[in-house]
Structure 1
Amino acid sequence: MPLAATFPATLMTKDGVRIDAAHTPSRGDAGLGIVLAHGFTGSWRDATTRRIAHVLSGYGGVVAFDFRGHGRSGGLTTVGDAEVLDIAAAVGHARSIGYGRVATLGFSMGAAVAVRHAALHGGTDGVVAVSGPARWYYRGTRPMRQVHWAIEKAPGRLAARLVKRTRIRSIPWDPVPLAPHEAAARVSPVPFLIVHGDADTFFPLEHAHQLYEAAREPKELWIEPGYGHAESSATPDLIRRIGRWISHLPRLTDRPPSLDRRDVPDAAERTVPE
């Protein structure tokens, strides 16, 4: 089946990083935009992500993009910190091309960034976190120990650059950014959907439960039987259900900013050295 047409775009973040993006126009609600955020080492150009964007475009227009340090975007990845500025640029682009309601949908690292963006920046009408971590530095599974090797060790960073086209910043976080479960407490009053598989080999279900318990209403938790991790395991049926959930979101962004969402000092608010 042919995929819906996409139109490339180049975005610029607040700290001056060029972001490679694409817009898939809505085949459903013309006023609904969905910002699609991939996982670590992913890209909007990956076949799996493009299929997800195609399914979602049946519900709203999709703005997909490569995080900094990934694919054709500039800069270096900070693995979840400064990436909130990348989502902010994508949300701004969705608004600029006419979408009145905008939701963010992130997978794995993208889920953590979407939650942190909602807490620190706001300006969206819904947040969906799929296969996301609740906390940083988790090494409880073999895949996550491999991820930490790729991030923390020079040979790992070289392998990520050569094999996955992912350029990782070697400078450790200082300070450590707001953790996803801490950010989850600040998403309300924006509707928040957490989706996690009971067969996730990266982050066990405790992460989904920690996010859900930290969040305030309105919130939902979907535990998906047999679902593994992130984009590669997501079925068209799951993406359609997420699309339907997003399509029923009320428009919230005309409201005054929540008194609970203030400008929180965070490493992502600074220019990140490359």
Structure 2
Amino acid sequence: MKKKHWKCIGIAAVVLLFLIYLAAANFLVSAALVPSTMEKLDAFSRITEDSMEALVQTDDIEQQKEKAWEETEKWAESARGEKVTKTSEDGYKLVAQEIYASSDSHQWALILHGYTGWKEEMYPFAAWYNQNDFHVLVPDMRCQGESEGDFIGMGWTDRKDNLMWIQYILEKDPSAEIVIHGQSMGAAAALMLTGEKSLPDNVKAVISDCAYTDAYEMFHQKMKEWFHLPAFPLLDTANLMLQLRGGYDLKKASALEAVKKSHVPTLFIHGDEDKMIDVGMAKQLYEAPACTKELLIVEGAGHAQSQDKDPETYYGTIQAFLQRNTPASFVMKNPEEVFFDT
């Protein structure tokens, strides 16, 4: 009788531990991919603080960042545009800011922000393209900024949303020639788009700034740092929970697999002191596709800091890449007319 009693207790304990484990995995999904939960748990502020501490802290980067925002604010005073709202195929309201070119240009830039980001932080890039006579569309990706959603998409669910934004551009301008410029998660989202068979030929180039190879590997590297939890075996269980709750698989959210199928000219950019996403990922991404490609490694730049560490090289390389690899109809101004002051 006693043996049976202890056996029941043992089974109950195992079941309880398993349920606690599942609850922890479920909690991790919300803590990493649901902004409202992240805010309640202070996970958003903690990740932001950790990310800021990992940045390169030098006077030149800080000064250039400040100057870039000053120039962006001046540009915004005269920029014309409108806020656009569309509904995703799964019923969420998504919001983007459209900025008009000063002429009847067919040049368009779709600019994509990073993890837990928002459209406004990408306005310095929007300013540069707009000053080069591009129409610009800057969306809040799902579950971030003003856009609705259930889970941050890590580029995977975003690829369909961004196909919707590309279709919006083509409805306005069937002759549009589109550059997609993404940073961090936005760069991974842009690369995932290039693997889609349905991507229109109107997309002429991608600028991928500090993308990760895939979302699973990115979280695998950050589990202990951000959440103080071991990646194994919790991440795999959390990924299963995400598939049940959010309908997508972190392992399928792979920019690396997507670029292997890409035919879109792509410029890969990364800082050599990036502590968030290792520069080795940029090299893996660069080596994978058969499309026209170039790689720019910016010395002394941390995560998403290349444009502030060396703006002339950053924007000058983008300009040269677009002029070499996009239609002759693309018009780019002289660098001194559009670079932010250094």
1:118-167, Cα deviation, whole Å (9 max, x unpaired)? 11232211111110001333357669832897xx99xxxxxxxxxxxxxx
- Residue of structure 2 in register with 1:256 after alignment: none
1:122 aligns with 2:199: yes
Contact 1:128–1:193 (CA<8 Å) still a contact in 2? yes
- Residue of structure 2 in register with 1:83 after alignment: 158
Q: Which aligned pairs between 1:127-138 and structure 2 lie closer than 5 A?
A: 127-135=206-214, 136-138=216-218
Query: Equivalent of 2:108, from 29, 33, 54?
Result: 33
- Residue of structure 1 in register with 2:226 after alignment: 146
Work out the CA distance in 1 between the residues paired with 2:226 and 2:256: 23
Work out the CA distance in 1 between the residues paired with 2:163 and 2:251: 20
Q: What SS does structure 1 have at the residue aligned with 2:285?
A: helix
Look up the equivalent residue of 1:52 and give its one-letter code: F
Using the TM superposition, give the Cα deviation of residue 112 of structure 1 relative to its aligned residue in structure 2, in angstroms.
0.8
1:51 aligns with 2:128: no
Contact 2:269–2:295 (CA<8 Å) still a contact in 1? yes
Look up the equivalent residue of 1:74 and give its one-letter code: E
- Residue of structure 1 in register with 2:135 after alignment: 61
Work out the CA distance in 1 between the residues paired with 2:118 and 2:261: 28
Contact 1:24–1:54 (CA<8 Å) still a contact in 2? no
Query: Equivalent of 1:179, from 235, 241, 254?
Result: 254
Look up the equivalent residue of 2:210 and give its one-letter code: S
Look up the equivalent residue of 2:169 and give its one-letter code: A
Contact 1:35–1:94 (CA<8 Å) still a contact in 2? no
Work out the CA distance in 2 between the residues paired with 1:21 and 1:94: 12
Q: What SS does structure 2 have at the residue aligned with 1:9?
A: strand
Work out the CA distance in 2 between the residues paired with 1:73 and 1:226: 34
Look up the equivalent residue of 1:138 and give its one-letter code: M
1:219 aligns with 2:293: yes
Higher alpha-carbon deviation: 137-146 or 9-18: 137-146
Using the TM superposition, give the Cα deviation of residue 103 of structure 1 relative to its aligned residue in structure 2, in angstroms.
1.5
Judged with a 3 Å threshold, the aligned counterparts in structure 2 of structure 1 residues 68 and 96 are, in CA distance, closer, same or farther, namely same
Higher alpha-carbon deviation: 197-206 or 134-143: 134-143
Q: What SS does structure 1 have at the residue aligned with 2:120?
A: coil
Query: Equivalent of 2:180, from 100, 104, 109?
Result: 104
Give the gaps of 5 or more residues in structure 2. Answer: 1-70, 236-243, 329-342
- Residue of structure 1 in register with 2:75 after alignment: 3
Using the TM superposition, give the Cα deviation of residue 178 of structure 1 relative to its aligned residue in structure 2, in angstroms.
4.6
Work out the CA distance in 1 between the residues paired with 2:125 and 2:164: 21
Structure ranking higher on relative contact order (CA contacts 8 Å, 6+ apart): 1
Contact 1:55–1:240 (CA<8 Å) still a contact in 2? no
- Residue of structure 2 in register with 1:234 after alignment: 307
Give the gaps of 5 or more residues in structure 1. Answer: 154-168, 253-274
- Residue of structure 1 in register with 2:54 after alignment: none
- Residue of structure 2 in register with 1:15 after alignment: 90
Q: CA RMSD in A?
A: 2.9
Higher alpha-carbon deviation: 78-87 or 192-201: 78-87
Work out the CA distance in 1 between the residues paired with 2:278 and 2:104: 35
Work out the CA distance in 1 between the residues paired with 2:227 and 2:87: 28
Contact 1:181–1:211 (CA<8 Å) still a contact in 2? yes
Q: What is the TM-score when the length of structure 2 is the normalising length?
A: 0.60
- Decide which structure has greater helix share: 2
Q: What SS does structure 1 have at the residue aligned with 2:208?
A: strand
- Residue of structure 2 in register with 1:192 after alignment: 266
